Structure formats: structure tokens, C-alpha cells
Structure 1
Amino acid sequence: MPVSGQTQRIYISPSGNDSNPGTKEAPVATLHHAQQMWRKLDGTVQVVLRGGTYYLDSTLLLTPEDNADMNTFLFIMGYPGEEVVLSGAKPLKTSWEPWQRGVYRTAVPASVPSMDRLFINGEQQILARYPNYDSSARFYHGTAEDALSPARVKTWKQPVGAIVHALHRAEWGGYHYRITGVDEKGAPVLEGGWQNNRQMGLHPQYRFVENVIEELDAPREWYFDSAAHQLYYMPPTGGELPENVSYAVLKELIVIKGSHQRPVKQVILNNIIFTGTARTFMLTKEPLLRSDWTIYRGGALLIEGAEYCYIGNCKFDEVGGNAIFLNNYNRYVNVDSCHIYKAGASGIAVVGSPDAVRSPAFEYNQFVPYTKMDRTPGPQSENYPHYCDIKDNLIQYTGEVEKQSAGVQISMSSNITISHNTIHNVPRAGINVSEGTWGGHIIEYNDVYNTVLETGDHGAFNSWGRDRFWHPDRRVMDSATTADISLVTLDARDITVIHHNRFRCDHGWDIDLDDGSSNYRIYNNVCLNGGLKLREGFFRTVENNIIINNSFHPHVWFSNSGDVFRYNIVTSAYKPIGIQTWGKEVDYNFFPDKSSLKAAQANGTDVHSTYGDPQFMDFAAGDYRVKPGSKVLSTGFTNFPMDQFGVRIPRLKALAAPVPLPAELYAQQTAGKASLTWKGATVKNIEGLGERSATGLPDESGAYFVKVPAGSEAYKAGFRTGDVVIAVEGEKIRDTADFMSKFQEHAWKQSMQMTVFRNQRAMELKVAK
């Protein structure tokens, strides 16, 4: 037996043999056999995988038996310079024959009970669906209102087993169902819909159906008939019939599982690609306290009961569900320098156990009465993630299947650091904090953009604060927090700090602290599009932020909120809703114009604030530092760096999509000269009697659509050349800057009502986001 503390190496290769000794010259073939070997060794063990694809027959389970000693390490790593792939798929031998309509089929062994995902040469194919896959479609790569109509269902010989995906009716995530039958009216009978914790039913329009053989009508589509053991496939036009075929089997590839009493320690995973796992959307059932989420506690990599473990330089490539899930008790687990690409659900989920929560409630309308509530601050057990770091990761195109997902999701955890990550192209939040339990998070230097792309009413950073103090009846909550303000921090025990980030949200707010989110400090952030919202919470200090082409959105504050908003740059007027009192301090801010400042001062705020041209260093390049001598500096605002957002790893930076920076500052457009491009249309102010006459307007108010190209987003939304928008959501529009301000104000909604002057008369246009 080797001496304790000595590093041992075990080599693995796809061309190896498990009867070999595991040396570099004679490697073993499988991780599971290597595990039997390393468990017999003392000291630090380095497991080196040579390049190639490893199809795992079962999940690799790492327990304290693999390493529970702080004096030793277990390294599992890819050989430097070689591509090591762990796959949850299983290879399939095929013998293709022509079937019909350009579709081929092959017999499949009876031992294959089902197929969830099919891969050709490692590339995921498309399960037969209606409507067909459209990479340019906003929702689910294509949706259709008639996807579940009786007329459509009637064309299917076997509707049972078909799968339905749909947005939540309010666009708060999504739903998934199996069709189990057809009723007497010809409508499908659905099983599922438990994937959202705010039940309102599936969206009437944004839905699609898959796993129907009659819908197999496009290249790369497939269907598996489990009863007849036949796989059907339509190859690409001119493409050869595939030979390298595999199908997803495993949901988890590696599980690290210990406990609070006996954790797994110092396991290092490095330079490994995780792929080929099955989708898990029908297992997403467990509600997360009173957030809008339900979850499945699993992922391609699942970590529970671990301490001082490190996941670095790994790629999670189109995994079927969550990429990484830190579950329940974890301490000092780091996820560093990883690339998460097209995960079916969330990129990284950090979630504790409800048994650590005092007086938990699990749905928006549920509540533990104050008289029966445990008033002890903080958690009641150690069964939650604490002091874990997520840094320098590139997380992109997640939520491919599950729309109630996030780049990084935090729930029932404390002191989680999310630093220097680039997160983009996600259907909902880039970073989501589900509730205040137990705060202390540090969210810093992240670049989060192209977010809330398929949903609405959310943020690039989003949080809820439906903690012990929160009640769905505002009057009850007002009375309780007035009588005992200490209720607010029973769960949000420690301050969460958000600083030096750049956020952009497409259909909501860049920073959205919703429904009671409390105990935050927010400073030195850039908001590129959606503005910053504080709703119904306490003890939020917002300082020294830059809000481009939008503003501050205070919603329904408490009289004793203690909120502070100062030293910030806003570029349009505040957007208050239901504000009676304005917190502890709202002052020393910088506005774009005198009218915006006067509107704020009319509410009793911003006595020492000022307005004007902020004089940004280089607006077009995204450098929003202000020049020496700018009036902004007189408010107390201080410049902060603009080149430190996002991932710092060069190879990952090179893979990130470009950040969509605003082309111009709408508030600086001068009357009579303003012109901009919006959704592909050219929009300008009304200038003079000629344009008034041409449009038939009684005055020079409105946003004039002088050119709306066919096929542009504006055209698809219903606009036509010559239109003039004269009102948005009932509010009169003066000019293009006013139009953009009102549009940004209401951009979180599913759609907004616009009054358009066309052909000498006003008409109403419902504009989807």
C-alpha cells in the first residue's frame, strides 16, 4: 500500500482495458473501474482521462469513501490539450431503410423503452414537432395557437404520448405536459403543468407539440415508436444516412454526495465536457417556497454534502436539464472558468432544503400566521449552501426547454458569490434570487444581457422577497411591519450586495427587486435598457448607478421602507407606481432635463439633484464614465471602471455574443431633429406644417414612422410607413424621446396598447413585446 500523502495516478482511455494496471502506457477503460482502484489507494489520487468520448453506463457516484480527508485530494481531469467527453447517451446500431415522405426507419432493440433526445454525430436532432423548428422564432423556436386544436389532434393516429410545451399564461416561465388521451370534444387530455409555482394555465398562443409521427415532415426530425421498436428519421437534404447514432439515457453524469455529518472533501473536476443527458422537464415539480419556481434537484453534475470542492475549466454542452446543481448542504464549493452552453434548464442552481427554513410557506397565497410564526432569525439547520463561489464562467443560451430557469439560480442559501460571469441569451433572468433566505450574497463584475427573451415581467437580475414577513394582503403586511420592523430581516438576515455589474433586460427591468426583496446594497452598476425597480421591500440602498435610456421604478413602497436612492444617473423621468412616501432618502441624482427633475421635486424628492448633459466619455463604445467638469460630479457621483464586466478567461470571452449597447441616448435628442431606428423602422419627430398635413395631425406631437420596411420587427408588430404613435398606454406622446421613454416604461408587459394615427384617423394597436 502506498505511503499516505503520496500522489497516485490512474490513467483512463476509451481504447483502454479494465484489466490493465491504469498506467499511462496501459490505461483502464472506464471511470467506474478506476473508482474501484482509487478507493484502495492512500493519499492524493490524480485520475487522468485521455481524449475521446466516454459513454457512461451509469452515473458516477462520488461519496466520502472517495475522499473525506482535508489532507488529500481526488483529481478527475482531462489530459491537457485533449478533449474529454463524458456522455449520458448510449450508442445505437442502425440499419436504415426507406419508409415514406423522405423518412427512413431502423429497427431498435426491445431493450430500449423510450427515447428523449437523439444525437447524430454528437449533434442533437429535432423531435418531430408542430410547428416546425424555426431558429428565428422568439418562443420555443416556433409556436402555434392551433397546436392543440381538435382539428389538429384529429390528424394524429396516436396522440397519447405526445408532449406539449407552452408559456405560462402571464409569461412567467413555462409549462410542460404529456397527452394521455382525447376527450369527447376531440381536445387532448393533459397531464403535467406542475413546472410553475404560480398556476394560471398555459398560454393560448405560445405553445407547440412534439413526439407525433404525423408531424415528422422536416429535415433532422425524428420519432421513436416504442411499441413497434422503430426509429424514424428524416436526414438533411442531400445528407447521408447517419451511422453515429446515440440517444440520451442518464440524467446525471457525476453525483458528489456526502452529508453535513460526513461531507465529501476536496474533489477537483477539471477539463471535462459533460453532454448527452436526458431532459428533466417532467420531473420539475418541487415548489421553491413562495417564488414562481418549481425545481428538479438534479443536473449533469449534482453536488450535495460537499466541502472545498472545485469544478474548473469544464464545459456543459447542451445537457438536457440543469448543468450544475448545488443541493442542500455545501460549503466552499467553487465553480470556476466553466462554459455552459444550451442547457435545457438552468446553468447553475444553488438551492438549500426547506427543512432549514423557519415557518416556510410554499405558494404565493400561502402564509404562516404571525401568531404562529417562529420569530427566531436565520436558518434552523445547516442543510443549505453557504460560502460557495461561482466565478469566471460563460453561461449562454440556457433554458432551451424549461423557461422558468436562470443562468444562475439561488434559493435557501447564504453568502454565495457570483463574480465575473458572462451570462447571455436566456429566456428569463440571468441571475435569480428566489427569496431572502438568508442573504449575504455578493453579485459583482458580471455581464448579464439578452435576458428575459421568451418571458416577461422579470429582470436581468431578479429577486423575490416573499419571506416570513411577506403577506399577499398588503394591508396585513403593512400593519405587521409597522408594529415590528424586525420581521423583515428574519430571513433576509445579511445584506446582499450587487456592485460593478452590467445588466440588460429585453422585456422587463435590468435590476428587478420584486415583491418584498429586502436588505440590499446596489452600487456602481450599469443598466443598459430596462431600468431599476424596487417593489414592496425594505432597507435597499441604491447608489452611484448609471441607468441608460430608462430610469428608477419605485413601486408601492412601505411608509417605513428605509429605502435610499442617491448619486445615480437616470436618463428619463422616474416611473413611480403607487408611491405615497419616498423612503429614507431620494436625492443627489442626475436627470436628463429640467422637466424630469421638476417632476421628481414635485413629489418632495431630489432637492439637491440637478440635470443636463452627463457628458459620457464614449457613449457609442459603452464607456459611461463622465468627463471631468461634468455636472454629474457635483451630485456626489463618482466614476467607476467600464472594462471589468464579465468573464476574464480569454478563451471564454472569445465565445461570448457581443453586448447590444444602445446606439444613442434618447434623452439627448433635440426637438425637431430627433430621428432613431426602432425595431427596424425609422422614427422621427413631426416637423412643420408639411408633415402635419401629410399625416393629418392637428399638431406636431407624436412619433412619426417615416419608413417601416416589410419584414422588419416593427412591420410584424403592425406598424406601417406613415404611422404616427400619439399615445402609449393612454399617455400622450410628444416626440420620439417621449415615445421611447414610455415604451421602456411599459416594456415588462406582455403587450402594450398604442394609439396610432393612420389614414387621417386614430386607431388602437396592441403591440407585443
Structure 2
Amino acid sequence: MLLGAVLALSTSHPVIPAVARADWQGHEIRQGDGNGGWVTRPAQRKVLRHPDCEHTMPFGLAQMDNGEIAIVVSREKAAPGGGRLFEPNIAFSKDGGATWSPFQAIPGTRGRPQFLHWLGGGNLSFVTEALGGGKQQRFFSGDYGRTWKESIDHPGSSDGKGFGIEGNGWVDRGEKGTPKAILEIGYHLDAGKSHPQGDFTGIFRRSVDGGKTWIDEVSPPQWKFTVEHNGKKWLRGVSEGAIVRAANGDLVAALRTDMPPKYFEGPHDDSLEGTAISISKDNGKTWSDLKFLFEAGRHHANLQRLPNGDLVCTLVVRDDIQAGKLSKGELTSHRRGCDALVSHDHGQTWSLDRRYELDSFEFLRKDGYWVDGVCGHIGAVVLDDGHVLSVYGNYPVGAVLVKWKPDATAEQANFFVSPLGKDENAGTFDAPFLTLERARDAVQALKARSPDKPITVLIRGGTYRLEQSVVFSGRDSGTAGSPITYKAYPGETPVFSGGRVVSDWKPHRDQIVAAQLPQIENHYYRFRELFLNGQRQIRARYPNRDPQDPRFGGWAFIGATLPADDAAPIRFTGEKGVFPRQWAKPDQGEIFIIPGLAWNSHLIPIRDYNPQTGEITVSRRPNQVWDRLMKGNRFYVENLLEELDQPGEWCFDTQTRILYFWPPQGTLDGAEVTIPVIDRLIELRATTHEPVRHLHFSGLTFTQTLSVFPWIHPLNPDYLECNRPNSGGFAFYLENTENCVIDGCRFDQVGGDAIRLHGASTRNRITRNEIVGAGAQGICFADLEFWPYHYPAVWRGNEAKLQSVSSRLPWAVGNVVENNQIHDCGVIDNFGAAIHFHGQNTDGNVVAHNHIHDQPHHAIYFSMGFGQNIIEYNDIHDLCYVMADAGGVYCNRWSILTDDPVLNKSQIIRYNRIRNVMGVVPHAVATDDPAGTPSQDRIRRPYFTWGIYFDNSPRRVQVYGNLCVGNVWGGVFLGGGYAEPEDCLVENNIFVDSSVYQYDASMNANSRGNVFQRNIISFSRPDASLLRCTSREGIKKLDDNLYFLQGGGALKVSGFEDGSFEKWRAAGFDRNSVVADPLFVDPTRGDYNLKPESPAWKLGFKPIPFEKIGIKKVE
């Protein structure tokens, strides 16, 4: 018989009376980390208390289909005529437990309400005593607990020995939630036996008729056990219990076990009982032996099943006694409260070292009597969102509710790695590996046995110091359906560091300390970084870093190069002559310099120094002719002991291997000093025939790699190609990879590129990462072996030569670089871009929704390659504070192959916001830019930058829907030194307030087919030009634009006759363009949306989706 045949199901939803009660309070629960420590997790807590009682004791929660939760409590206080009053009350919540209706007494009842069950529809039931009769009865409500009009006897056991009740039962339900059976556990104590020496007998039974009759009653013999104490054997049993149907169909019971005999002689009460698990695989007919969770002190269990199949066992901590930790009369602590355990295998095992402490309070009686329950009774429900709402009775305060969410990560991983692990372990949650290499090898073995199974490695928080790269090869690959994932354990931060701790510091002089480094491989001593507690410190320098003006202050300047007629000098003097200190070992120093026209940065060893003349001789030339040393170039001297004169500075003597440091706090007590010792942390390295596939890395942090800047060509040390990326210092190095993922990681102060992709790269995804403080570039696709090809001869009219070059390049196809934040990189190699493609054939790579800012040079850079990429929805600002001749998005010598079906397409740059691309040059060479302003009379800024810059090569590019604000020579530039732009489209963009030109088309007579239409230009400088055009032959169309010079005045066209806009129009350009205010919504606040009445709409301008620009929210 189904339960629905017994009770008429109600479908009405009565309204709960409005209640004004406090909402949840913020709360933290603790969870064991599996290694003897704890992690905290957010939760919510509140207390319910009946206004007229001494104790409000909860005995059950029920979640109903009207969206409400019911709670039954016992209102307890002294009775007027003596004895105790126990009155069942009920209250309701319709917001997940945040607020509750007032408690209402349930008429006709007394005692403590047990076994609260929702039976479908409006039907609730619970068991307690009937008022006046003293008999146990099951009471029923058909209107969601508002009235209780029916009751039936709740019978004792079939043998007449009684059926004690407490705990939680279970309702089996059909597919549609229809109740099928009630399951419950009771107990009795045989006549002649008494607590605590007597052994309780536990009873299981079922009812399929709503509790009228009971079947399958059994007292399992496995629920009895024997304990030996002081030479005597004691029979022990179980009393109350909780029961749940596991996802695999088993029945799991959490049973209250009798008090251990070792407590009989001392102070004791019923709080000294424990909890054990028993499982039935045949619907309750037989049960397994008891598996103890706690010998004593924790019981009143409640069992619930989570949506993912995990089981949660909530218990009351009445005495804080943990298994194996109590001798007679000894407690672990005076903690009381509520705990929970989770089982990921249907109740077979419970991770005690991952125990949750849901609520805690300390209790110690004034008389020192340490055994005192002071709390008890429990209830729980699983909410629809996966949270658990638990309640337990805290005698001093009331019914304590905790809303929390179990961590289900343990069953989500195949292997675990921990800084506290051992590689000889099994790699389980409880016995994790120590190293990523060991986990990699275990994955290989598991993959061989189960090739179609996804594999996950969870990496616990802490620092992993690497002495060598962790290398993954093609045999470590996953598949599309079974990827292999290495990710951070939820809520924890694993850090992979190439830094080695330096210790054994000794006083040197004044505040400076020194450490003798051991004899190790020489390459370890090429480090140019030192970290104090994870923060990069300052290499000793002259002039000192200027903290008030760190970008434009703190420079020395070349006064003269020697000899004066040398086109590529390596000798120079400083502007101020001799340097103020005598250098005992000048060859230990290096010159950091921005040479030439500020197109590059260099770090060059000092060969010699003449203290009488102040003449410095460096060991090599910077590189090609445009980076030669020039009068006025900025530089500073690094790594000389005499210049270590400020807190936070350091230097290293490579001859003596002595490291010197001035701690900024004056002492290294409690501090950690590290130096980088390896130049790659993680390598995915394979061949084009067997690439690394489907490896995923998520949530990890990488830091402290060696900087190998500058890269010196092994065959030609004097030649440094400025476009070519450096070859080391990578946190991630990927060579020939497909469908690999780097997601949600943090790259913090690595020495070179954060992520380098070399060789063939196909459909890799680099998403949601933060890259900060990289020594060079953020993300770089580059062929390290690619020797630069020269121009201009190869670019036009020599398709065969271009094909020959392309045939030697690897392919980057379908890669996605999205939703990353990249900032403050290029710390050592100032040329470094945030994102760089170099020496590649490309097709369909997407660079989107990135936030790039505070970079010394470009944001996104393409150099010396071929093909089409999509650059869209990026938020780019505050760039080029060291270099000049640069852009927010910059393409240099990036071409197409006209006859190639893939490489005949070029770049699409759309819907990007690019602001404040500055540019900085020596004041002495910046003679052609009226916009620049000098700093310290030595540096000119802003200078020679664009928002979007196509240099030397633009063909078939599309620039659409971008916003460029506050640049120097224009929002976009088509041209360059060998400028023959061809078939380029610049359309529907907004260019605002560039200093010199707003649009720059520096073309020669071979240019053709370029279109500039439906753009908006608004600027405020009356001395600035509207645009520059050096060859009208290259323009196919320049019309239908909207121009506005704020404050009025004549528009000028540089490079065209006398610059007259009227003559420009007469020549056939901008005849349909409009000069008017574009009517931005609020440009002073950065809102460049157009008002409905903007004249741009009539010209066919389309809205730019500004709301989509920048990092997008990812669920």
C-alpha cells in the first residue's frame, strides 16, 4: 500500500504570517585539510529561540514542495507544579532558513517531537506523546503543518519491548517524489539492565502504509559488539540512529553506540556515547559490522544525501573526544558544537581528517566536572542549491542553524599533490604525492589502463620550489573526450616557483648583509632578480630609483659617444662627467639603457671604466643601426657594490659568489629571500608528428624564473633583432601543442615571458589568467629559430620570396587568448608586449576580451609573419611609458600571400578600446613633434605613438568599430618606413584627442585601394591636424566621416598641399563628410555612446558595443 492511499494529499499553499527576525549572520566553518591543518569556508548562521522557555531543542527539519521548510522543536522549562515541561512547537521558513514564523504549539501533544517527515503535498507527520495519554503517536497534518487533526498509535517493537525514538528516519520515494515507505531506527533496553552498563538493542523497520503497520523489523546482531576493559568483557550495543538511502541503493545507518566501559569509573553521563556506521545491501534485512567514526562524545547523527550522491553525516559534539585520542579523564578540548562528515562512496568510508566543524563553543563547568553534554539533538535538510541546512540544540542559546555547502572535491580527482605529500604515496586525498612529476607519471599509468577516462589531478595549496622544469611530452596527452587536467584544489593556492631560498646571511657593513652562495652550475648565477617575501627588490643602481617618479625619474644621460665619428660606438661618457663613487669592480656592472630613438631597451655588461674621464666602455653594441648609442640616451648602472646605498637594494659578485642585500626593514628576521635558479617552470614539449594534446592547467600560480635578457645570437653576438623575442625565463613553454588549456592561473613576476608557445600551436586556449610583473612578455607565439628576413625587397613583387619565407615558419591556428588581465610587464625587457605573435603563419587566432594596461611598450604585437587573426573587444590603456614609435595594437612586417587560400587574408581589428598610448624619447632627438613636453629637460613625452599602428606592411587589414582616445600621432596609422598599404579598410571607428594627427596615412605612390569611411574624429588641440596623407594615389575612398574640432577652428590636412581642408575636399575627398559635434553621451566620464540626435547616424555609423569590451563574465 502506498502512503498516498492513507492520507488525502493537500495542494493548498497557506500563507506564512509576516515575521520580523534577523537574517543570516556571516559565519565561517572549518574543514580539515587532510594534512592535519584546517581551511575555512564561508557559511551562514542564526539562532532560533522560543521567547518563553529555558531551552529550545530542535528535533527535525523538513523541506516541502510549497517552498517552505518546517522545523519542530521542544519548548522546555520547569513546570509550575514541579518536573519539566516538554512542548512540541513548529515554525516555518520560506527563504531557505533566513527568517522564520513565530513558533506555534502543536495542540494535543507533549514531549519531544521526533521523526518529522514530509510525505508529499501538504502532508507532514511526526511522532511524540499524546497529551494526557502518555502514549507515542504519529501526528498528521494535511495543510503543510498549520493544523494537526489526525493521529495514530506509533507502536513499539514486535516483541513488546518498546521502541525508543530519536534520530532521523528516511522516506523512500518514487520517480515523481511519491512516498513509498518510511524507514526508521529505534531501540530498547532489556529488563534488568540500566544505563550506562547495560547494552541497548537497536531496531530497524519499515512502513508502507503511512506508519500504521510496520514490516521487516530486525535487530541486527552486527549492532552488538564486545569491549574488554580491566580484564572484563562488556557487551555493548546501539540506541538511536539515522538512516538514508544511498545513491547506489544501499541503506546506510549512523548509530549511537553505547558508552565505552573505560568511562564507567569516572564522571560520566550519556554524552560519552559514540557513533558508528552500518550498511545494508538488501533493503534492511541484513547489516554490516559496525565501522566506528567516534568512540565517544559525538552522536545524535543525521544523514542526508546530496544531489551528487555524496552522503553527509551531521553530529552533535557533546564532548570533544576523537577516536584514539582519549585516555581516562582526558579531553581533546572543551569544545562543544556541531560537526559533519562527508562520504563519497555511499557510506563505505568517511574522511575524518576532512571533518567539518560547523559550529563551536567552549564549555567548562565551574565545578570542573568535564562531562556535560550541554548540547544535543539535530536535524538537517539538503536545499535545492546544494547547501545543507543543519540545526542542533545548544542548551545555553537555543536552536542553532548553519547553512553551509560541503566540498565535493575529493571524489573529483584521480590524484592529489601536496607540499606535505611524498612521492612514494599512492596519490590519494589522504596520501598525496609531493611532486607534479610523480603525478604526471601516475597519470601515464592510469591512462594506459583506462584510456577513455578523463583524469584530474588536484594540487593542494602551498609553494612548490622547482629545481628543474616539469616536462610533459606527447605521451602525456589526453583526448577530446578524456582530457587530463591539473588544477588547484578548490579554495587553495598552489604556487610553482623557480626561486631558491638564500639563508646564512652575515653582517657586511652598516645595514648591508651578505651571503656566500654555494658552488653550483654557472647559469644559476646569471640571475638579475632577488625577491623578499615574494616581492622583487631593486638591483643596486646609479642613479637611484626615484620612488616619487619611478618611470621618468632616476635616469642618467649620455653626454657624448666616443669617438665622435663612430656610427656604432661602445664608449660614452655621462652628462655629468665622472660618476660620484669609485667602482672597484666595474666589470661586475651592467648598463640598462634605452638607446637610439627609444625603439628598444638593452642590458649590456660594462667592459671598462675610466674614473678620471668618466668614460664607460660596454662589452658590445646594442644592436642594429637604429639602436646605436646617442647623446641624450637614458641609462642607469646596475649591480655595483658601491651603488648599494638604499634599503631594498642588492647586488651580486659573480667572481666571489657573494650576494649583498640591504633589507628594507633593517633585518631579515622572519623574512624569506629567494633568487631564481631555473628559466622554465612547466614545459609541454613534443614534435609536430606527436604534439602534446588536451592537457589542461587551471587555478595555479607561477613565479620567479631566470631572466635571460638580452638574447644573444650564437653566430652573431653583435646582432640583436629588436622584433625577436627572448628565449627563456618562461613560466609555461609550449612546443607543438594542440587543444591545451591554461585557464584561471596567475603569473607573478616571472623573469621572461609568462607563456611562450613555440613551433606549431593549434586550438590552444589561454583564458582568464592574470599576468603581472613579467620580465618580458605576457603571452608570446614565436619561432625561436626564425632568422629575420630583411625588407623592403622581399615585400612587394616577390611572391616567390615570401612563399619561401613562409614555408619555413610554423603554424598557429585557431588559438584563443581571451579574458586575461595583463599589466605591468616588460620589467626587464622593456620591449616586451603583453601579447606577441612573431615569425608565424597564422589563421583564425582570436585575441579577445583582454584587459591590458600599464605596459612600457605595445599591448598587442604582430611581427614578421603571415595570415589573419581577430583582435576584438580588448580594453587597452596606459602604454608606452618607456618606448616610442609604437602602438596599442602594432603590426610590423606582417603580410599576406596573395595566392595562398589561407594566408591571403589579413588582420581584423575591431571593437577595441585603446586609450593613452604615450611614447617617450630623448629630448635631444624629439625635434619634430610639437605635442611632446619635456621631463627634467631630458625626456620628451608624449611622442610618436598611435592607437593602432600598421608599420611597413599593411595589406587587406580591417579596422572597424574601435575607440582610440588620447594618443599622439593618431588613432590609426597605415604606412611605415616602406609604406605601401593596399586594400585596407578603416571604418566605423571613433578617434578622440590625439595630439598631432587624428588619422595617419603615410603612403607612397605604390599604395592603392585603401578606404577610410564612416569614422568619427573629435579633437581639442587647435594646432593638431585632422589627418596626414602623403600620397593621394593610395586612397580609394575617404568620405562619409564626421569631424569635430572642439572650440572651433579650421581643419588641417598635413602632407597635402597647403593643408587646407577646402582644397582637400575639392580634390575629391570628404565631400560627403560632416563637420559637427558628434554628441557623445558623456565623454568627460568616458562614455562615447552617441545620443539619438547625433549626426553620425545619418552617415550610416553603427553603434559600437562598448558594454562587451573588456573582460567578460564567465559562469
TM-score normalised by L of structure 2: 0.53
Distance 2:859 2:1063 in 1: 33
Aligned-residue RMSD, C-alpha: 3.1
**Quick one: structure 1 residues 207 and 552, their matched pair in 2 at CA, closer, same or farther if it must change by over 3 Å?**
same
SS in 2 for 1:72: coil
| Equivalent residue, structure 1, for 2:345 | none
Letter in 2 for 1:461: V
- 8 Å CA contact 1:445–1:501 kept in 2: the answer is yes
Shift in Å, 1:190: 2.1
Q: Which residue of 2 aligns with 1:421?
A: 850
2:760 matches 1:333: no
Q: Structure 1 residues 25, 393: closer, same or farther in 2, change over 3 A?
A: same
Shift of 1:185: 6.6
Residue 592 of structure 1 aligns to which amino acid in structure 2? F
Q: Which amino acid aligns with 1:133?
A: R
Shift of 1:579: 2.4
Q: Secondary structure at the match of 1:28?
A: coil
What amino acid sits opposite 1:614 in the alignment?
A: P
| Matched AA of 1:584 | K
Q: Give the conservation status (yes or no) of the 8 Å contact 1:291–1:364.
A: no
Letter in 2 for 1:119: F
| d(CA) in 1 for partners of 2:752, 2:1039 | 45
Which residue in the other structure is 2:538 paired with?
126
Which of residues 195, 203, 219 is equivalent to 2:647? 219
Of 402, 407, 421, the residue aligned with 1:16 is: 421
Q: Does 1:27 align with 2:432?
A: yes
Deviation at 1:513, TM superposition (A): 1.4
Give the structure 1 partner of residue 596 of structure 2: 169
Deviation at 1:187, TM superposition (A): 3.3
Bigger shift: residues 228-237 or 619-628: 228-237
Look up the match of 2:509: 100
User: SS in structure 2 opposite 1:630?
Assistant: coil
Give matches, 1:225-624, under 5 Å: 225-241=653-669, 243-283=671-711, 285=713, 292-298=722-728, 299-352=730-783, 362-363=789-790, 367=794, 373-374=800-801, 376=803, 379-380=806-807, 383-411=810-838, 412-414=840-842, 415-435=844-864, 437-465=865-893, 467=895, 493-504=904-915, 505-507=917-919, 508-530=945-967, 531-535=971-975, 536=979, 537-550=981-994, 551-572=998-1019, 573-581=1025-1033, 583-592=1035-1044, 595-596=1050-1051, 598=1062, 600-624=1064-1088
**1:505-525, Cα deviation, whole Å (9 max, x unpaired):** 123111111222221111111
Identity, in percent, stands at: 26
Name 1:666's counterpart in structure 2: none
User: SS at the partner of 1:417?
Assistant: strand
CA deviation after TM superposition for structure 1 residue 635, in Å:
1.4
Q: CA distance change for structure 1 residues 543 and 28 in 2, over 3 Å: closer, same or farther?
A: same
In 2, the alpha carbon distance for the partners of 1:421 and 1:644 equals 11
In the alignment, which residue of structure 1 is the partner of 2:635? Answer: 207
Q: Deviations over 1:622-650 (max 9, x none)?
A: 22122112222221112222222211259
User: Per-residue CA shift, 1:183-213, capped at 9, x if unaligned?
Assistant: 7976333235567795433674311111110
In 1, are the aligned partners of 2:499 and 2:674 still within 8 Å (CA)? yes
Alignment partner of 2:441: what SS?
helix
1:532 maps to a residue whose letter is V
Equivalent residue for 1:62? 472
Deviation at 1:227?
3.2
Q: How many residues align?
A: 622
Instruction: Report the Cα offset of residue 161 of structure 1.
Output: 2.6
Q: Shift in Å at residue 53 of structure 1?
A: 0.4
3-state DSSP of counterpart to 1:634: helix
Distance apart, 1:106 and its partner CA: 3.0
Would you tell me which structure has more strand in proportion to its own residues?
2
Show structure 1 runs of 5+ residues with no match. Answer: 1-5, 470-485, 652-769
3-state SS of 1:260 partner: coil
Residue 296 of structure 1 aligns with an amino acid whose one-letter code is N
Report the Cα offset of residue 618 of structure 1. Answer: 1.6
In 2 relative to 1, CA 515–229 (structure 1 residues): closer, same or farther, beyond 3 Å? Answer: closer
Distance 1:367 1:582 in 2: 20
Pair 1:45 & 2:455 matched: yes
Q: Does the 8 Å contact 1:67/1:74 carry over to 2?
A: yes
**Cα distance in 1 for residues equivalent to 2:965 and 2:1066:** 27
Larger radius of gyration: 2
Whichever residue aligns with residue 514 of structure 2, its letter is: R
Is the partner of 1:439 in helix, strand or coil? Answer: strand
Instruction: Answer yes or no: is the 8 Å Cα contact 2:1003–2:1034 preserved in 1.
Output: no
Q: Deviations over 1:313-347 (max 9, x none)?
A: 00110111111111121100110000000111111
Higher relative contact order (CA 8 A, sep 6+): 1
Aligned counterparts, 1:611-650, within 5 A: 611-649=1075-1113
Pair 1:452–1:240, CA change in 2 (3 A):
same
Q: Could you say which residue in structure 2 is the equivalent of 1:155?
A: 582
* 1:116 aligns to 2:528 (yes or no): yes
Deviation at 1:66, TM superposition (A): 1.1
1:143 alignment partner in structure 2: 555
Q: 1:134 to 1:285 in 2, by over 3 A?
A: farther
For 2:847, the aligned partner's letter is I
Tell whether the 8 Å contact from 1:140 to 1:401 is kept in structure 2 after alignment. no
Larger mean Cα displacement after TM superposition, 192-201 or 618-627: 192-201
Deviation at 1:575, TM superposition (A): 2.4
Confirm or deny: 8 A CA contact 2:592 2:601 kept in the other structure.
yes
From the superposition, tell whether residues 59 and 377 of structure 1 become closer, same or farther in structure 2 (CA, over 3 Å).
closer
Deviation of 1:381 (Å) = 5.8
Secondary structure of 1:601 counterpart:
helix
Equivalent in the alignment of 2:389: none
1:131-165: CA deviation from partner (whole Å, max 9, x where unpaired): 11224446487321269647229711001131211
Please give the alpha-carbon distance, in whole angstroms, between the structure 1 residues aligned to 2:950 and 2:457: 44
| Distance in 1 between residues matched to 2:762 and 2:896, nearest whole Å | 25
> 1:35 offset after TM fit, Å?
2.4
3-state SS, counterpart of residue 914 of structure 2: strand
Distance in 2, matches of 1:29 and 1:397, equals 33
Q: 1:394 to 1:202 in 2, by over 3 A?
A: farther
Cα deviation digits, residues 421-476 of structure 1 (max 9, x gap): 000011111111113x322100000011101111112111111136599xxxxxxx
Tell me how far apart the structure 2 counterparts of residues 221 and 387 of structure 1 sit (CA, whole Å).
Answer: 45
Q: Note closer, same or farther for the CA distance 1:152–1:290 as it changes in structure 2 (3 Å cut).
A: closer
Q: Give ranges in structure 2 of 5+ residues lacking alignment.
A: 1-410, 559-571, 920-944, 1020-1024, 1052-1060
Determine helix, strand or coil for the equivalent of 1:35: helix
C-alpha displacement of 1:311? 0.4
In structure 2, what is the Cα distance between the partners aligned to 1:57 and 1:406? Answer: 28
